[in-house]
Amino acid sequence: MGPIETDAGRLLADVDGPLIAVGDVVTYHLLQAGRQPDVALVDERTKREAVDEEIRRTVTEDTTIEAVNPPAGISENVIEALIEGLSSDEPTTILVEGEEDLMALPAIVVAPNGASVVYGQPDEGMVHVTITDDHRADVRSLLDRFEGDTERFWTLLESVDTDASSTNG
């Protein structure tokens, strides 16, 4: 959905606005480069294996919210945590029990235009999506094909004003 970058410093040079990080290793690299994400979603795992202790300790140090999300799914609980994080005036780290892998998708839908969503591409680097209406439309089309209570899902996401959803950036 965006360019892949292996250097967090170079990636951050292109960030202008709120920053949402999805994944422990991505969050770790952004923190090491000197930028705390406005919202970070972590689950203490990478490629379905536990992250090393330094990464775990670093990315969970400022945990603000805990949420539960099943593997290969998107729960109401984690959506509510994402919305809460975006509306906070302070950086928010969401520690997910389960898996946060798919959370880049709803993050793209609810992030304001110009915000950055960064997620990991295993064995390649960090994908940087600068949010536009086109990105939002592409992700909505993809999410419409998901199974589950999509009506409730869209109701939750549409409650967010994407022009003003983040005040902490």
Q: Per-residue confidence at 143, pLDDT binned at 50, 70, 90?
A: confident
Q: Is 24 annotated as a binding residue?
A: yes
Euclidean distance between CA atoms 138 and 135, whole angstroms: 5
Residue 62 lies in a domain: yes
**Is 125 inside a domain boundary?**
yes
pLDDT digits (tens, 9 = 90+) for 75-93: 999 999 999 999 999 999 9
pLDDT digits (tens, 9 = 90+) for 109-131: 999 999 999 999 988 999 999 99
* Residue 98 maps to a domain: yes
Give the pLDDT confidence score for residue 166 in this predicted structure. 42
Split at pLDDT 50, 70, 90, the class of 165 is: very low
Task: Please state which of the ranges 50-59, 132-141, 143-152 shows the lowest mean pLDDT.
Answer: 143-152
Q: Give ∠ CA 75-47-19 in degrees, rounded to 5.
A: 60
100 known member of a binding site? yes
Q: What is the pLDDT of the chain when averaged over all its residues?
A: 88
Is 43 annotated as a binding-site member?
yes
Please state, in angstroms and rounded to a whole number, the distance separating the CA atoms of residues 89 and 116.
17
Query: Is position 149 annotated in a ligand binding site?
Result: no
When divided into structural domains, the chain yields a total of: 1
Q: Does the annotation flag 26 for ligand binding? A: yes
The larger pLDDT score, comparing residue 99 to residue 164, is at: 99
Tell me whether residue 103 is in a domain: yes
Judge contact between 70 and 43, C-beta under 8 A.
no
Inside any domain, residue 168: no
Predicted confidence (pLDDT) at residue 167 exceeds the cutoff of 70: no
Is 25 assigned a ligand-binding role in the annotation? yes
Q: Where are the beta strands (DSSP E) in the chain?
A: 4-5, 19-22, 39-42, 45-46, 49-50, 63-69, 92-98, 116-121, 125-130
Q: Name 50's bridge partners.
A: 45
- 3-state SS assignment for residue 137: helix
Q: Specify if 140 maps to a domain.
A: yes
- As a whole number of angstroms, the distance between CA 132 and CA 97 comes to 30
CB 115 within 8 A of CB 163: no
- Would you say residue 43 lies in a domain? yes
Domain range for 72 is: 4-158
Strands 116-121 vs 19-22: parallel, antiparallel or unpaired: parallel
Q: Give one DSSP letter per residue of 78-125, joined into a string.
A: HHHHHHHHHH-SS-EEEEEEE--GGGHHHHHHHSPTT-EEEEEETTTE
